[in-house]
Structure 1
Amino acid sequence: MNIKAWLWCALLLLSACDKVPAPEESFAGLGSEAADFAQVVPGKVFTFPEDHGAHPGFRIEWWYVTANVKDAQGNVFGVQWTLFRNALQAGPAQAGWRDSTVWLGHAAVTSATRHYAAERYARGGVGQAGAQAAPFAAWIDEWNFASRPGAASPLADMQLKAGGAQFAYDLRLTSSRPLVLQGDRGYSRKSDQGQASYYYSQPFFTASGSVSLDGKVYQVTGPAWLDREWSSQPLAASQTGWDWFSLHLDGGEQLMLFRVRQKDGSGYLTGTWIDPQGGTQTLHNADIQLTPLATTEIDGRRIPTRWSLKIPGKGLDITTQAVNPKAWMDLGIPYWEGPVKFEGGVGYLEMTGY
């Protein structure tokens, strides 16, 4: 799950309205009521390819891709691409400039010594940004994530492109394995009060293509991960930030877990263990031991960039280390996000609210 989208989209919504201050009762106002929008409830039956596209009845939605790639010389890179859709008001989509949807794109490349990120904004209804189910495509300006012509299914063969002043990437993503429904058959709770999203992933992508940093092009391959989520009121008023992991294990298993932190110092911790065939087991707080071990000072903040992660029931006991501890996304709203490594695999970590 990429829950940073709640922060970016909610703040974007608030900044787009004249002199409307962000509510102070929850992190970025994400616990504010959204009664006029569609609600997330248990029991949804997912339908594909329709659910790959946009869900206008909901307030917040995102398409999020990360990749852990390296070249033939062993140079390691992290790649991130995200498109956020945010509805400024409830109701059906309108044509042209009357449309009340705002889109936001984030893209980044991280190496052991460099980290570059960029963002884009667009208003809906005029074609500058959008998402469609068939043929699948999500885009903002020239940044795009789309099915390649002739793909056997919408997410079996994809092309991913984006770039900024000092970086670019062009990757082909392929997978023949099934999508994964997170949480309870796609109903992913974020708090004990019942806040939730609809959430599914494709953790089995293989990426290949090019990454460019400071004018030098690298040919790379490696595992990639897609997250899809949508919601209207995703957080409780007491929640202050989150830590989210997606991990590719060398044995073929995949692991997603997140902790949404509370004002009292506790956290809502859950995850999904995914076997090599795509079978899933939901992990609860008692199943997971997650402990920060070391921090990095960035922009006046102490960010935990080395973690102990144990899942005794799966025999997992690892220490994750940031590939680049300075992977600070210094955008309109700053946060930390970058690739991590550990004995037995690689992955991605995102942290907000520090």
Structure 2
Amino acid sequence: AAALLSRPRRGPNLAATGVIGGASAEDTSGFARATGPQPLSFPADYGPHPDYQTEWWYYTGNLDDAAGRHFGYQFTIFRRAVLPAGQRPVRASDWAADQVYMGHFALTDVDGQDYQAFERFARDGAGLAGAQAEPYRVWLEDWRVEETGPGTTRLQAAAGDVAIDLTLSDLKGPVLHGDRGYSQKGPDPGNASYYYSLSRLASDGVVTVGDRSFPVQGLSWQDHEYSTSAL
């Protein structure tokens, strides 16, 4: 059973959601809204919710190598629906897109006093980006998180001269925010999201910085949130 948790939430990358969104409150008609608690079911709700306008899968973690060299990372994939389901035209082209995705990847090398951040965009046409529930997979080109076994995923991202390749093992199960996963943001109806976290992910793998690779271990946290609302 999922646990319940209320805590101050981290905001998303505001520039990212602004670019992905590019829309005002008037653009939300036809999309599903978060209007009250509803049962969350796993593994189905690990995957995408395309009836809602906006969604993200947000990973952060702290990692150390055997010598105590410390790294922090952030890896997020955002999804934004182009049109509500009932307004999406049927198109034969493999390049036709119903969803736009943005990825954000950042790595901090504390001892090396270095921070690098990268972003990229793609539509879901031609398999460039996407998300699925079973088996769980979220990807944007070669940046990806994908299920490798029960409660275990592999996270991979590389850009510039840095990369991460991590195995994440869930030690706790989903933690539901707010009222059983219904997270109210403001007084207006629908100004809310469905929101859970995997708050304790044992993490091990390799961090690459330049021509050096560091076997690492640590802990990660994943947030998954979806809505049709300003957050």
Q: How far did residue 79 of structure 1 move? A: 1.1
Q: How far did residue 7 of structure 1 move? A: 5.1
Matched residues in 1 for 2:13 and 2:35: separation? 20
Number of the residue aligned with 1:66: 60
Matched residues in 2 for 1:119 and 1:145: separation? 16
Matched residues in 1 for 2:152 and 2:72: separation? 20
Contact 1:180 1:203 in 2 (8 A): yes
Number of the residue aligned with 2:221: 225
What is the TM-score of this pair, normalised by structure 2? 0.86
Is the radius of gyration larger for structure 1 or structure 2?
1
Matched residues in 1 for 2:95 and 2:159: separation? 27
Matched residues in 1 for 2:73 and 2:157: separation? 10
Counting only pairs closer than 5 Å after superposition, residues 22-171 of structure 1 correspond to structure 2 as: 29=24, 34-91=28-85, 96-112=94-110, 113-148=113-148, 151-152=149-150, 156-171=151-166
Give the total of aligned pairs: 216
Q: Would the alpha carbon gap of residues 36 and 5 (structure 1) be closer, same or farther in structure 2, given more than 3 Å must change?
A: farther
Moved more, 91-100 or 117-126: 91-100
Contact 2:183 2:195 in 1 (8 A): yes
Contact 1:83 1:103 in 2 (8 A): yes
Q: Would the alpha carbon gap of residues 101 and 35 (structure 1) be closer, same or farther in structure 2, given more than 3 Å must change?
A: same
Query: Can you list the C-alpha shifts for 1:287-337, whole angstroms capped at 9, x where unaligned?
Result: xxxxxxxxxxxxxxxxxxxxxxxxxxxxxxxxxxxxxxxxxxxxxxxxxxx
SS of aligned partner of 1:8:
helix
Matched residues in 1 for 2:96 and 2:51: separation? 16
Contact 2:172 2:199 in 1 (8 A): no
SS of aligned partner of 1:4:
coil
* 1:224 counterpart letter in structure 2: S
* 1:115 counterpart letter in structure 2: Y
Query: Can you list the C-alpha shifts for 1:45-95, whole angstroms capped at 9, x where unaligned?
Result: 111111111111111001111111111111111011111110122125656
* 1:66 counterpart letter in structure 2: T
Matched residues in 2 for 1:3 and 1:34: separation? 21
Contact 1:5 1:61 in 2 (8 A): no
SS of aligned partner of 1:174:
strand
Contact 2:196 2:223 in 1 (8 A): yes
* 1:169 counterpart letter in structure 2: I
* 2:125 counterpart letter in structure 1: G
Number of the residue aligned with 1:299: none
Matched residues in 2 for 1:174 and 1:166: separation? 26
SS of aligned partner of 1:12:
helix
* 2:169 counterpart letter in structure 1: T
Contact 1:5 1:84 in 2 (8 A): no
SS of aligned partner of 2:16:
helix
Q: Does 1:187 align with 2:182?
A: yes
Which consecutive unaligned segments of at least 5 residues does structure 2 have? 1-8
Matched residues in 2 for 1:103 and 1:11: separation? 10
Q: Would the alpha carbon gap of residues 59 and 10 (structure 1) be closer, same or farther in structure 2, given more than 3 Å must change?
A: farther
Which consecutive unaligned segments of at least 5 residues does structure 1 have? 15-21, 23-28, 236-354
Query: Can you list the C-alpha shifts for 1:96-118, whole angstroms capped at 9, x where unaligned?
Result: 33323111111111122100111
Q: How far did residue 41 of structure 1 move? A: 1.4
